[in-house]
Structure 1
């Protein structure tokens, strides 16, 4: 049975609201939660972007059962990998072992803020692999010194380490990232139900490891209102990773998505309150071999009705997917 997760979307709500949302998701019966880690929203209409790690610390204290996860953190530019290791170890302790560290090669949208330019994809992936190796070394305990191609670490040590370090997930979009995920990750992360990604992950050592997907949805009893909201706030998702990873800010995303029509969004994202439509959108992930799927309810002010509907109708229907 596929596990169904809830996404704390930091781009569409403030930190106090996000913590309340995940408390509601735990109460509704979601199996796990994930959170985005951004400096900017994709579109100005989303309107938010609080610091994910502060929010996760609060969420760890406000909840008691639901697992937490970054989806995903870039450990190469805005953060140094030694700092990410400390953040993750602390979250694992605060949550009582409920944290998973999702990592990826990043987006220009968030990483450009520290200057230094935005490297080519091959460099970003090489930096990601080196960063994961540093994080794993720090999770192992003891002093770590490292002089690598992209990062230096001088006599670093994590003084507060959990008995079990957080599992590391790696976001994938092609062969090279799948190789890194299979070799260095404990699980794989993807935002599209592409079976070839999971096959590549398995070839590089991922066989038997969890695989997590993510799906935007827009619940509303008024389907027209749901389509309009999804178009206003989430049309960027139709752009694809090769484009989205390069754009530097909300204005760029607005310009790049100007041709996207509401009907295009309605075709790609389940909107309204038809349970069968939502189940049909999750099914390709299950058929591709994903073991977990995190839902993103579009609209920061529409989480409470979504959670109530999910508890009563959607989650029972999704539990039947195998």
Structure 2
């Protein structure tokens, strides 16, 4: 049975709100919660970017049942993989085994802040593969020494890690990332319901492993207002992964999305209060083999009515899938 999740969108909400939303989402009936991990919002109008790991620690304490996940953390520049491993192991213990470490190769938007430049795609993939290897080794609880092309680790050890460490989910967008996810990951993460991603994942050992997708929606009783809100805050979504990964700042996303119209947004993001529209969009993920689908409700000030709608109408309808 498909599990349905809620996205803690750090780019549009302050940390205190995110913790409150996490509790509300659990009460509304969501099965899991994912958190973005950004240093910058996509657009200035979004207005926030609190630390995801600190927030998730509070969420782990405030919730009881929901599974938690980073969606996703980049372990190649802003964080060294040894630090990611320590953070994930700690969160795994605080959540009592409810945490999955979602990893991806990142975006220039967030990683440029450490001043090391932004590597080419091929180099990023090499760095990412090494990072996953290091994190997996540290989860074993022993001392780790590693000398790769991009990373060095000397006598590192996690002193607090569960006997069953957090599963590792890996974000995919093409053949190379699907191969890494299948060989080294415990789950596949994607933002598009493309069956070919799952097929590639299966070819490299992913068969039977979870697949986690994500879908933005803009719920609201006034459909036009919901479209306006989605256009103001989420038009960057139309750029696609290859563009989004390389743009260096919010001004770049604003410029790249200046010709995205409200009609464009309304065609790609379910807006309003039509349950069937959301159900149809979710079904694309289900039909593509995704076992988990996390919803993003656009707009910080719309979360509370979204939870009420989720309990009364949306989740019962989605469970029918």
TM-score, normalised via structure 1 length:
0.99
Using the alignment, how far apart are the partners of 1:248 and 1:300 within structure 2?
Answer: 24
Using the alignment, how far apart are the partners of 2:179 and 2:243 within structure 1?
Answer: 22
Structure 2 residues without counterparts, runs of 5 or longer: none
Equivalent residues in 2 for 1:75-90, closer than 5 Å? 75-90=75-90
**Cα drift, residue 26 of structure 1:** 0.3
* Aligned equivalent of 2:161: 161
Query: Deviation above 6 Å: which 4+ runs of structure 1?
Result: none
Deviations 1:239-266 (A, max 9, x none): 1000000001111000000000000000
Deviations 1:286-307 (A, max 9, x none): 1111011000000011111001
Equivalent residues in 2 for 1:261-272, closer than 5 Å? 261-272=261-272
Using the alignment, how far apart are the partners of 1:171 and 1:161 within structure 2?
Answer: 23
* Aligned equivalent of 1:107: 107
* Aligned equivalent of 1:17: 17
* Aligned equivalent of 1:173: 173
**Cα drift, residue 58 of structure 1:** 0.3
* Aligned equivalent of 2:260: 260
CA RMSD of aligned residues (A): 0.5
Equivalent residues in 2 for 1:195-274, closer than 5 Å? 195-274=195-274
* Aligned equivalent of 1:64: 64
* Aligned equivalent of 1:123: 123
Whether 1:151 and 2:151 are equivalent positions in the alignment is: yes
* Aligned equivalent of 1:53: 53
Using the alignment, how far apart are the partners of 2:230 and 2:139 within structure 1?
Answer: 40
* Aligned equivalent of 1:5: 5
TM-score, normalised via structure 2 length:
0.99
**Cα drift, residue 118 of structure 1:** 0.5
**Cα drift, residue 42 of structure 1:** 0.3
Secondary structure, counterpart of 2:266 in structure 1? helix
Using the alignment, how far apart are the partners of 1:116 and 1:158 within structure 2?
Answer: 27
**Cα drift, residue 147 of structure 1:** 1.1
Alignment length (residue pairs): 321
**Cα drift, residue 78 of structure 1:** 0.2
**Cα drift, residue 116 of structure 1:** 1.4
Using the alignment, how far apart are the partners of 1:85 and 1:71 within structure 2?
Answer: 15
Secondary structure, counterpart of 2:246 in structure 1? coil
Structure 1 residues without counterparts, runs of 5 or longer: none
Using the alignment, how far apart are the partners of 1:26 and 1:282 within structure 2?
Answer: 20
Using the alignment, how far apart are the partners of 1:152 and 1:300 within structure 2?
Answer: 41
Deviations 1:45-98 (A, max 9, x none): 100000000000000000011111000000010000000000000000000100
**Cα drift, residue 142 of structure 1:** 1.2
Using the alignment, how far apart are the partners of 1:245 and 1:120 within structure 2?
Answer: 11
**Cα drift, residue 10 of structure 1:** 0.1
**Cα drift, residue 320 of structure 1:** 0.5
Secondary structure, counterpart of 1:245 in structure 2? helix
* Aligned equivalent of 1:312: 312
Secondary structure, counterpart of 2:161 in structure 1? coil
Using the alignment, how far apart are the partners of 1:145 and 1:292 within structure 2?
Answer: 35
Using the alignment, how far apart are the partners of 1:59 and 1:86 within structure 2?
Answer: 18
**Cα drift, residue 163 of structure 1:** 1.9
Secondary structure, counterpart of 2:173 in structure 1? coil
